[in-house]
């Protein structure tokens, strides 16, 4: 059996104790559902001395409606709850679909929203065992100098592979953190991810910050769709994904936000589409949007699937997602 | 730092010693000895470790034990046991959903959690809930049936609700077939309830006192000379018991005794990434891993060859510098076979329609959910016992004795329950030799369990094959000529290589009749994991060019694709163009069956765009006519020992790897002796106890061990009848055993129960009533060099119709349904035959669409060391179809009754896979107009073939 490395574990009961525990041990990581982190530890991608287990932290598991009609989602809300919550379906259109598309059913019961939002970027040259990674001389993302995807040593292009992130980005959600000094810190989803996919660089947050909540702004009257491209109907990470959220008045398009996932370290927000607002979302408008998505997308070999086909799929799924909203 | 934590498991509080990094699975399996939950992939990709936590099915291999303090944990053992199996466990048993049984504890956990929430789930809810539980045996059909049935237990087991199961449900529960008592009846599998309750022990479930854990250090290079291996630091580490390197076991081995080109560990050079170099045994796996990290190997990296075109180029680096006799080699050709039957060139010239081109069949691997595992233990008097997840305990027995240089009589190989094989466990592997050597050196038992990554490197899976292929057909649709040039990518070692090379040519003629035939088949060494026999060894690949070319010919000649196959269909008693006698052949009935079931006549030409039907056929051997090492002894032996209690113990060397061979043998013995199957214990695959059977490969077991079982059963029946006749003072011919009793033929009211009969027999004999039987080699095959390879005493036949839906915008192929009709001679156990058909169809479909055992060629932006590395040796990157991707499989059985088979039976385990790939390809053409000649049929390939995606 592929063993886990040695580490110690603490199981704080409050968010404050959790950030304190991490602050006290620089080589520490948060552990939520474990479905991704424990695999990464088995792969030798991190070597923490301490895991701060969040399963016993109180107050991180709620789904609440906010007074303004928005939605607050605790970081420890399990993905299955997200996928099946009537409130989520009502207040965060598209998010339940995205959550239901994550991995397999067992992963969704253990995996959490927080874990999925802060999912490490993925790459075929990175998410492998230590033996395999050593055999290729490692990669830029971890322990090596060469990026086997771009060929360049400049930056890691591992793919943002969360299913919730593109949807939350399109919904203009915000991520709420507790900092080690006890202060609160808010980052819009669109600004949460940097251009370099390395684990220690990609998340634009202070070290040791604890994601406590994701808030979706009021989206009453909005419609949304999440289309995930994957080989199998279950288990797989996205090969590409299109998340779109829109607001109509009658048939008139008022707002539109579109994010493409599984290409680069950050979700690709395509737009703005202001020029299309105030008009119906007709075939010509959909053609326009699909064209822009096609131009904006350059899938790479970091994830499965022929890049040219994945780019084609960005266009196809954009059309389909938009059509489903009309 | 280990600490005691309380875990609430199966209704009881336990104190379990765990470390922070102990997974829940490890705590259950190794801490609490609840080995029902299985380890299949190391990291949450397969679902075999699924348990129920607070009423939810979750993965226990990617969860820490310490996170579960205070939770209510349920494992398969807690859901029910042999005394009171749960409705889900009963339903899995009753529906035949348990083949190897390895993934089922996880499935049963998922199904149980689903049913608690949704008592009567729909099939699609069942598929959704089980989409994270991979199963390689069943292809989901019977699993989903079981989930449905468990929602209404009374529908499958009328008396299941009163708690009297299993006694009240006899093993045969279908109506008897005319002329038989047990054979042909629908029946439960004798070992199924043990598997459903987690009681069955697989190799990794074995724990011996003082047992150490072995690990193998593997090469990170595709090709390198080993200058030196320094194990001194590893050997000095605390907790390390023994360390070995290649020269400790210098005798080479191979499953084929003529071609030993492989060592337990590499001696002079490594030939692929994953080749073993050194091994250690230590107090635990973590210590063993640390010891591996302390071993220093000095490699001289050599240029490599990654595919046959590189390997065959002039001056190419040699994978093997010498052959197994030490003679220098000059090329990388492992085996080269050319055979010709009739004047192919003339026949092609005469053909009204010629289809020619190049096809590529991609590699795939078995991916049995159980990783290979072996446990070795030496007695103080120098005898070795080796438990191994093997399909071939006899060949393993021979090679272990040879390589360890000890007499065969000092080696006992025991095959515990095997969690799936499919050909991936049908030869010796490094872990078996290393466990045995390390156990001797360490003076304690040693277990080695492969990681999932190591399973990918051990491989022995489907050979990639490149075809230059031409088919000539007459204007009225007769196959005039087939000309096939095959280049086979063999990987680093020989394995069954010479057989593969022949099979790639020899097994193609039939069930279609060829006018003339010529093939050249060349297996080439490359610096990649060694290929070998995967379900339909060597013969699945050529079906792809042949059956798709035949479809093209039908199109060009405007003949219906089923009709063109009818016009060429062989009949029983014919010989193939290459001289193999096919005693029985039900291909016409198979074609009729799939044509009818699929509504072909009405639907083929009338489906909307994007939807298509495709047909394909195949034929496969029922065992190889000759043993791998020539000898005059039986290829299979069965003995029966009767006890005066009424129980029979049947001893067979046949390896039950989940296909149910032990159930088949029990049914045969029951049929012959009148002893009900539930009173029969089958002891299988233990070389100290059981007569030799050559193993579970080449679809030989039902035919050969079945024949031996009939002979043994008849011998015991004779003993019984003589004894009862003597008791009644009548002639033995007047006495006949029926199920549970022996009666007088003329006066059926005159009867003794079977126990009395057995006692009469023992008394009359004055010694235990023991009988034996054998299967002896029958001389068959073509009369030319190589004519005995591919020769079989019988051949099965299969036809598939696949229905696909192709999304013209995305290229995504959805296989909606496959109708599969398989001629297995007589179906001795129909539930098992259907299970083999469904599993075969699933496996073929999965490799057609999803699987690709592929390696980086060094192109693109990759660094210099990426070349030759596996593209993802794990069950996430290597994608096996899930329950949601699996089509509805509609299996039907055709019984041609083979004159030489046991009760007329032939194989069912491998043949039904073959047509899936070309049937899907042909259906894709029908749906899109695009002919695919490269596998797998990924959406980008489909779109490109349709001209809808730039290259």
A102 pLDDT more than 90 = yes
Whether chain B has a CB inside 8 Å of the CB on A16: the answer is no
pLDDT of residue B546: 98
- Whether the CB-CB separation of B82 and B92 falls below 8 Å is answered with no
How many Cβ atoms are within 10 Å of A59's Cβ, its own excluded? 13
Assess: ipTM above 0.95.
yes
- CA-nearest residue of chain A to B64? A34
Statement: residue B157 has pLDDT above 60: no
Q: pLDDT at residue B306 above 90? A: yes
CA distance A300 to B862: 12
Would you place residue B165 in the very low, low, confident or very high pLDDT band (cuts 50, 70, 90)?
A: very low
Q: What is residue B188's predicted lDDT score, i.e. its pLDDT?
A: 81
d(CA B744, CA B737): 9
- Euclidean distance between CA atoms A318 and A241, whole angstroms: 9
- Percent of chain B past pLDDT 90, that is, above it, reads 93
Q: Is the pLDDT at A50 greater than 50, yes or no?
A: yes
Q: Which residues pair with residue B611 across a beta bridge?
A: B805
For B226-262, write each residue's pLDDT tens digit. Answer: 999 999 999 999 999 999 999 999 999 999 999 999 9
Counting Cα atoms < 13 Å in the Cβ hemisphere of B578 gives 28
Chain A residue closest in CA terms to B57: A106
Instruction: Say whether pLDDT at B156 is over 60.
Output: no
Average pLDDT over residues A131-157: 96
B367, two tokens: 């991916």
Q: For chain A, what percent of residues have pLDDT higher than 90?
A: 98
* pLDDT of res. B167: 38
Q: Do B451 and A42 touch (CB under 8 A)?
A: no
**Which chain B residue lies closest to A48 (C-alpha atoms)?**
B21
Is residue B161 predicted with pLDDT exceeding 90? Answer: no
CB B574 within 8 A of CB B585: yes
Task: Name beta bridge partners: A93.
Answer: none
Q: Is the Cβ pair B876, A235 closer than 8 Å?
A: yes
User: Which one of A38, A137, A231 has the shortest CB-CB distance to B62?
Assistant: A38
Contacts with B, A 124-143, CB within 8 Å: 124-125, 127-129, 131-132, 134-137, 139
pLDDT the model gives residue B154: 53
Q: How many CB atoms lie within 10 A of CB B386?
A: 26
Q: What is the pLDDT of residues B899-947, one digit of tens each?
A: 999 999 999 999 999 999 999 999 999 999 999 999 999 999 999 999 9
Is the pTM of the predicted complex or chain greater than 0.95?
A: yes
Would you call B64 and A236 a contact, using CB atoms and an 8 Å cutoff?
no
Q: Is the pLDDT of residue B173 over 70?
A: no
The answer to whether B21 contacts A234, with C-beta atoms less than 8 Å apart, is: no
pLDDT (tens digit, 9 = 90+) per residue, B482-534? 999 999 999 999 999 999 999 999 999 999 999 999 999 999 999 999 999 99
B166: pLDDT strictly greater than 90: no
pLDDT digits over B778-823, tens only?
999 889 999 999 999 999 999 999 999 999 999 999 999 999 999 9
Average pLDDT over residues B269-281: 98
Q: Does A226 touch chain B (CB under 8 A)?
A: no
What string of H, E and C letters represents the secondary structure of B822-882? EECCCCCCHHHHHHHHHHHHHHHHHHHHCCCCCECCCCCCCCCCCCCCECCCCCCCCCCCC
Which residue is associated with the tokens 């001056």? B315
For B381-408, how does the pLDDT look when each residue is reduced to its tens digit (9 = 90+)? Answer: 999 999 999 999 999 999 999 999 999 9
Mean predicted confidence (pLDDT) in A235-247: 98
- Give the ranges where B27-95 is alpha helix by DSSP (H): 76-79, 87-94
Query: Which DSSP letter does residue B363 get?
Result: P
B934 CB neighbours in chain A (<8 A) are: none
Q: Which helix (H) or strand (E) holds B545?
A: helix B540-557
Task: Name the β-bridge partners of B214.
Answer: B281, B448
Rounded-to-integer distance, Cα B195 and Cα B662, Å: 14
Tell me which of B62, B127, B293, B847 to substitute to probe the interface with A (most A C-beta atoms closer than 10 Å). Answer: B62
Hey, what are B482's tokens?
């087939």
pLDDT tens digits, residue range B529-578? 999 999 999 999 999 999 999 999 999 999 999 999 999 999 999 999 99
Contact A7/B67, CB-based, under 8 Å? no
| Residue B162 banded pLDDT, cuts 50, 70, 90 | very low
**B309, burial (CB in 10 Å: exposed 0-12, middle 13-18, buried 19+):** middle
Chain B residues within 8 A of A109 when measuring between CB atoms: 56-58
Encode pLDDT of B733-763 as tens digits. Answer: 999 999 999 999 999 999 999 999 999 999 9
The percent of residues above 70 in pLDDT, for chain B, comes to 98
- CA-CA distance, B132 to B336, in Å (whole number)? 43
């Amino acid at each position: 059996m592929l063993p886990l490395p040695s580490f110690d574990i603490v199981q704080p009961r409050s968010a404050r104790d959790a950030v304190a525990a991490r602050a006290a041990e620089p080589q520490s990581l948060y552990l939520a559902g474990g479905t991704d982190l424990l695999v990464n530890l088995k792969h030798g991608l991190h070597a923490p001395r301490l895991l701060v287990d969040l399963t016993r932290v109180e107050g991180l598991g709620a789904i609440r409606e906010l007074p303004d009609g928005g939605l607050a989602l605790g970081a420890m809300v399990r993905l299955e709850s997200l996928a099946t919550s009537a409130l989520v379906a009502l207040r965060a259109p598209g998010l339940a679909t995205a959550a239901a598309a994550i991995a397999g059913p067992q992963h969704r019961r253990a995996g959490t929203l927080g874990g999925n939002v802060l999912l490490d970027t993925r790459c075929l040259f990175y998410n492998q065992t230590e033996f395999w990674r050593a055999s290729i001389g490692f990669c830029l993302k971890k322990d090596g100098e060469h990026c086997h995807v771009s060929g360049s040593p400049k930056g890691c292009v591992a793919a943002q592979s969360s299913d919730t992130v593109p949807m939350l980005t399109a919904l203009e959600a915000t991520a709420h953190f507790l900092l080690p000094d006890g202060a609160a810190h808010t980052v819009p989803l669109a600004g949460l991810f940097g251009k370099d996919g390395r684990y220690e660089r990609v998340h634009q947050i202070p070290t040791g910050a604890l994601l406590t909540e994701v808030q979706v702004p009021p989206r009453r009257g909005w419609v949304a769709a999440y289309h995930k491209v994957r080989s199998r109907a279950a288990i797989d990470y996205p090969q590409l994904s299109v998340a779109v959220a829109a607001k109509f008045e009658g048939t008139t398009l008022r707002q539109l936000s579109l994010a493409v996932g599984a290409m680069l370290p950050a979700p690709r927000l395509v737009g703005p589409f202001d020029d299309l607002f105030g008009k119906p979302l007709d075939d010509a408008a959909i053609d326009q949007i699909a064209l822009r998505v096609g131009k904006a997308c350059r899938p790479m070999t970091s994830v499965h699937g022929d890049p040219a086909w994945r780019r084609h799929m960005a266009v196809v799924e954009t059309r389909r997602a938009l059509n489903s909203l009309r | 730092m280990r600490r005691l934590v309380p875990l609430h498991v199966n209704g009881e509080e336990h104190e379990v010693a765990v470390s922070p990094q102990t997974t829940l699975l490890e705590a259950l399996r190794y801490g609490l000895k609840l080995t029902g939950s299985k380890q299949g992939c190391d990291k949450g990709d397969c679902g075999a470790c699924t348990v129920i936590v607070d009423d939810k099915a979750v993965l226990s291999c990617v969860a820490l034990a310490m996170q579960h303090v205070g939770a209510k944990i349920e494992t398969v053992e807690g859901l029910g046991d042999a005394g009171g199996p749960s409705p889900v466990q009963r339903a899995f048993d009753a529906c035949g959903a348990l083949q190897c049984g390895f993934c089922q504890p996880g499935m049963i956990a998922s199904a149980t959690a689903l049913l608690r929430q949704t008592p009567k789930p729909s099939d699609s809810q069942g598929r959704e809930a089980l989409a994270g539980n991979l199963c390689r045996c069943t292809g989901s059909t019977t699993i989903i049936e079981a989930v449905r049935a468990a929602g209404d237990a009374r529908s499958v087991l009328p008396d299941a609700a009163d708690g009297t199961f299993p006694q009240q449900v006899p093993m045969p529960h279908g109506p008897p077939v005319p002329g038989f008592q047990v054979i042909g009846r629908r029946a439960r599998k004798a070992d199924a309830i043990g598997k459903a309750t987690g009681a069955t022990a697989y190799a990794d479930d074995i724990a011996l006192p003082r047992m150490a854990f072995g690990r193998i250090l593997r090469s990170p290079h595709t090709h390198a000379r080993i200058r030196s291996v320094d194990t001194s630091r590893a050997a000095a580490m605390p907790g390390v018991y023994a360390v070995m390197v290649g020269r400790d076991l210098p005798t080479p081995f191979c499953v084929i005794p003529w071609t030993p080109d492989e060592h337990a560990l590499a001696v002079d050079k490594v030939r692929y990434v994953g080749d073993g170099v050194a091994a250690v045994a230590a107090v635990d796996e973590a210590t063993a891993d640390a010891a591996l990290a302390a071993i220093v190997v000095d490699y001289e990296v050599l240029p490599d060859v990654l595919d046959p075109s590189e390997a065959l180029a002039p001056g190419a680096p040699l994978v093997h510098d010498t052959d197994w006799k030490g003679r220098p080699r000059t090329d990388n050709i492992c085996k080269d076979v050319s055979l010709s039957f009739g004047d192919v060139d003339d026949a092609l010239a005469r053909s009204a329609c010629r289809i020619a081109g190049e096809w590529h069949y991609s590699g795939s691997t078995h991916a049995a959910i159980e990783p290979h595992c072996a446990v070795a233990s030496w007695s103080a008097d120098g005898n070795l016992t080796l438990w191994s997840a093997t399909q071939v305990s006899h060949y393993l027995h021979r090679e272990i004795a040879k390589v360890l240089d000890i007499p065969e009589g000092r080696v006992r190989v025991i095959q515990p329950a095997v969690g799936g094989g499919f050909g991936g466990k049908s030869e010796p592997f490094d872990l078996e030799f290393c466990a045995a050597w390390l156990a001797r050196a360490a003076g304690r038992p040693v277990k080695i369990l492969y990681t999932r990554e190591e399973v990918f490197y051990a491989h022995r899976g489907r050979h990639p094959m490149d075809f230059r292929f031409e088919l000539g057909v007459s204007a009225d649709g007769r196959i005039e000529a087939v000309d096939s040039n095959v280049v086979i990518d063999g990987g680093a070692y020989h394995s069954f290589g010479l057989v593969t090379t022949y099979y790639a040519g020899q097994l193609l003629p039939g069930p279609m009749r060829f006018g003339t035939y010529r093939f050249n088949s060349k297996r080439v060494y490359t610096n990649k994991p060694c290929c070998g026999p995967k379900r339909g060894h060597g013969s699945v690949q050529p079906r792809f060019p042949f059956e798709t070319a035949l479809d093209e010919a039908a199109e060009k000649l405007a003949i219906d694709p089923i009709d063109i196959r009818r016009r060429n269909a062989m009949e029983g008693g014919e010989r193939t163009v290459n001289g193999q006698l096919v005693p029985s052949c039900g291909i016409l009935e198979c074609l009729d069956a799939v044509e009818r079931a699929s509504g072909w006549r009405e639907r083929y030409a009338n489906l909307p765009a994007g939807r298509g039907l495709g047909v394909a056929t195949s034929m496969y051997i029922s065992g190889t006519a000759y043993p791998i090492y020539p000898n005059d002894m039986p290829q299979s032996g069965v003995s029966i020992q009767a006890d005066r209690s009424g129980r029979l113990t049947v001893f067979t060397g046949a390896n039950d790897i989940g296909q149910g061979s032990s159930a088949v043998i029990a049914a045969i013995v029951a049929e012959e002796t009148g002893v009900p199957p539930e009173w029969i214990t089958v002891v299988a695959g233990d070389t100290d106890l059981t007569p030799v059977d050559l193993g579970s490969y080449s679809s030989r077991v039902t035919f050969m061990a079945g024949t031996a079982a009939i002979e043994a059963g008849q011998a015991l029946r004779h003993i019984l009848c003589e004894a009862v006749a003597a008791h009644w003072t009548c002639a033995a011919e007047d006495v006949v055993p029926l199920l549970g009793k022996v009666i007088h033929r003329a006066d059926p009211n005159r009867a003794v129960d079977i126990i009395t009969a057995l006692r009469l027999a023992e008394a009359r004999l004055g010694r235990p009533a023991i009988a034996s039987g054998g299967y002896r080699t029958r001389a068959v095959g073509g009369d030319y060099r190589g004519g005995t390879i591919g020769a079989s005493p019988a051949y099965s036949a299969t036809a598939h119709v696949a229905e696909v839906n192709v999304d013209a915008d995305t290229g995504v192929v959805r296989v909606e349904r496959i109708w599969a009709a398989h001629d297995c001679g007589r179906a001795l156990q129909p539930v098992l035959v259907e299970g083999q058909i469904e599993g075969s169809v699933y496996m073929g479909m999965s490799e057609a669409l999803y699987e690709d055992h592929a390696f980086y060629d060094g192109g693109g932006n990759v660094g210099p060391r990426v070349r030759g590395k596996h593209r993802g040796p794990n069950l996430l990157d290597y994608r096996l179809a899930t329950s949601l991707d699996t089509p509805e499989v509609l299996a039907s059985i055709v019984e041609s009754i083979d004159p030489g088979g046991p009760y007329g039976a032939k194989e069912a385990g491998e043949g039904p896979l073959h047509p899936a790939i070309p049937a899907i390809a042909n259906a894709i053409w029908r749906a899109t107009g695009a002919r695919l000649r490269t596998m797998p049929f990924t959406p980008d390939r489909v779109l490109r073939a349709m001209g809808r995606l730039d290259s």
